Amino acid sequence: MIPVIVSTPLWPVFNSLCQTALGRPATAGVDRRNMLLSSNLECVVLALAEFREAESKVTLKDAGSLLQHCSVTFFSNMTDQAALELLIHSRVKVIDCDDEQMCYLLTGTLEEWKQAVLNLAVISQTRQMRQLAYRIITAFDDLGLSAMFDEFRRTSGTELVLVKK
C-alpha cells in the first residue's frame, strides 16, 4: 500500500486565521514538541488539537475525534475479495480500475483506517483479513503514525492480531 493523497492544511492560511481568531497560532502544539512543521499527519493532528484547546496535550494515541479531520488515500494491489472484505468491515472508500490489474484507491479518515485495522486484526477474522490489517498498519508505520495503535500489542509475522495492552 502506497500513500498517494494525504490531507494537509494550507499552513500559512490556517495559522494566520487561528492567530487572528484565537490569539495563538494553530502550530503552537507542533512548536512545543520541537517538531518541524510539515505535511506529516501528526503535525496536522497536533494543530487541530491546538485549535480546539490551547496548550493541548493530545497525542496520536488519544486524538479521538480529531482523526476524523485527516484522510489518507492509498494505491494498492489486492484481490477483489480483499477489497470487498475491506468494504464490509470498514467505512474506507474503495475505487477500482476498469481492467484486470486488481489496482485500487483506498480512502479513509485516520479514524476510519484505525477502525478498519481494529475490525480486521482480530483472531476471529480470516487469515487474509489479518494479513490486510498488517499491510494497513505497516503503511501507517511508514507514514510515522504508528502511535495511533500504541494502546495495542501487536503479534509478529505478516498476520496482525491486536490485543489491548
Instruction: Express each pLDDT in 9-39 by its tens digit.
Output: 898 998 899 889 888 888 888 888 888 877 7
Residues of the chain with pLDDT under 50: none
**What values do phi and psi take at 41, rounded to 5?**
-65, -25
Q: In the beta sheet, which residues pair with residue 93?
A: 107
Task: Please give the pLDDT value at position 118.
Answer: 87
Q: Are 47 and 60 in contact (CB under 8 A)?
A: no
Task: Please give the pLDDT value at position 93.
Answer: 95
Task: Please give the pLDDT value at position 107.
Answer: 96
Q: What is the pTM of this model?
A: 0.84
